[in-house]
Amino acid sequence: MKVILAKHSGFCVGVQHAVDTAMSQPENTYVLGEIIHNEGVVRAIKDKGLNVVEALEEVPDNSTVIFRSHGVPENYYSLCKARDIKVIDCTCGFVKRTQKIVKEQYALGRQIVIIGEPRHPEVVGLMGWCDKTAVVISGEGVIPEELQQKELCIVCQTTFSAQKFEKIIKNIQKVCKKTVAVFRTICYTTEERQKEVEGLARTCDAILVVGGLNSSNTNKLYELAGRHCGNVFRLASAEDLDCTKLKNFKSVGIVSGASTPNAQTREVLLKMEENTEVKATTNNEMDDVLAKIDSESKFRKGQLVHATISQATEEGLQILLPFSKKEVALSKDELDCEAYNVADYVARIGETIELLVVELKPSLKLSQKMIKLLQQEEDLRAEIENGKEFTVVCTGTNKGGLTAQFGTYSVFVPAKEIRPGFVKDLTKYEGKTLRLRAIEIKKGAKKEIIASQRVILQEERDARDAARAEREEEFFDSITVGDIVEGKVERATSFGAFVSVNGFDCLAHISDLSWTGVEAVTDVLEIGK
């Protein structure tokens, strides 16, 4: 039997941070809700002496409370402050971003729509960032009529099914008449897991899905696997595994949710290895899989990790990472700062910073500034795909147009899309800021945006022309022959004066300036009067 372990298995960085934080707290610390949806982890936290409560009212004044990765309503922070409750905030970074979007868009007067499960704690928390006015949609059914005439802001539960989200969005856009601002707030690690499980389900004879039965993201993996494979087994732990059901399969894929500890998956693998019926058909690959889960449980490409600054030099920082006993170099070029100053970072030794794993081989490469680029990329997909204007600085030219960079995307502006009319010299745009609208976004291996500045400039020109035409019509409708009007002399010519009347250029011919006749306009009129 061939055993394939999904690359994206076990705790995501947000869950890992929440669990590590909880396990490092002293007894009598309170945890608001289950830190993650995993019975074993929750039991371990309780055994350590922490109190898991379901409501903020259960947390005593002058104590300490942990907010889990799912997040909480906005007013919980002020409620805790009023009661002198210290908050240890473990809200996932992706959830915080969604909270910010909901708050800002609600303040703009838009109706908030949350795609997700109404009872999921993340969704419940998001409701508290818009005065509980959001509409929650979890299925692909009929879109409520109340939404069809409103300006909408749509966000998504970070662990929701990406496929289902896309279908719901299409349904909404078909019937809603006004602005629909879509923010694709599904965590990118969630998407990677979902894509991977579909790939495994198409190629393996059976799939084992490991994780807590009340875990939303794990249940999504189970649902996706079932669409492509007829033999999918849901395991809360190794105890649920019946090895006799696996003996006739040639290949078995193993996946686990973001709230599943690697140790739990390892127990499933060990049980398979120890079982005689499975072991008889298993190659020595099981040892490799077990070794893989032990080694890759540390870091993965694209993973966010929290590291401690231990040294600062002219070349950059030395940092200590979780699960690592030796220091790792972080180049100053990968720091998110305007200008690197050693003294500034010497003062920050011992501080924890968030980094992105960029490369694993030939050596571990980390970056802080790439986090911002990825956030820009997420905002890009959520906003400019819907036609929002964005700006870049032109970095170069080629024979076809201008080039630039936006986040991790390269940008190309064809010569004909720079402005209305022909552009002879492209080089004069180098270093200049371009105002663009996306024509096409390529999301494959070559991330590229093909964009236009011409459409924006043309729309603005058309709008100015239309406004001027409307003003002219109003002007001529408001005057008749014989009216006496006041005007300001703007300029003089040999044949008369141009006078501004209500903002419009009017000609006073030199023959009409005096009954006696004049040789020059300035003999009678003064510029600016």
Active site residues: 122
Cis before 73 (ω within 30): no
Tokens of 76: 């919980």
Tokens of 359: 């490369």
Measured over the CA atoms of residue 34, residue 39, residue 44 and residue 49, the dihedral's sign is: positive
Three-state DSSP class for 194? Answer: helix
Tokens of 372: 């911002």
Tokens of 205: 């004879």
For 418, phi then psi, to 5°, come to -75, -45
How many angstroms separate the Cα of 236 from the Cα of each of 8, 40, 265? 18, 10, 10
Give the span between the Cα atoms of 255 and 225, in whole angstroms: 10
Whose structure tokens read 């210290």?
86
Comparing C-alpha atoms, which of 148, 217, 207, 168 is closest to residue 5? Answer: 207
Give the span between the Cα atoms of 61 and 358, in whole angstroms: 43
Range 8-32 burial, b when 16+ CB lie within 10 A, else e:
bbbbbbbbbbbbebbeebeeebbbb
How many angstroms separate the Cα of 4 from the Cα of each of 201, 258, 276, 492? 11, 18, 19, 86
How many angstroms separate the Cα of 253 from the Cα of each of 4, 129, 250, 483? 5, 40, 10, 88
Cβ atoms of 384 and 407 within 8 Å: the answer is no
Three-state DSSP class for 80? Answer: helix
For 72, phi then psi, to 5°, come to -140, 165
- Name all contacts of 220-227 with Cβ < 8 Å and 24+ positions apart: 220/159, 220/160, 220/161, 220/190, 220/194, 221/193, 221/194, 221/197, 221/255, 221/257, 223/161, 224/161, 224/163, 224/194, 224/197, 224/198, 225/197, 225/198, 225/200, 225/201, 225/255, 226/201, 227/198, 227/201
Cβ atoms of 17 and 303 within 8 Å: the answer is no
> Which region, left, alpha or beta, applies to residue 214 given φ > 0 means left and ψ of -120 to 50 means alpha?
alpha
Tokens of 197: 């499980």
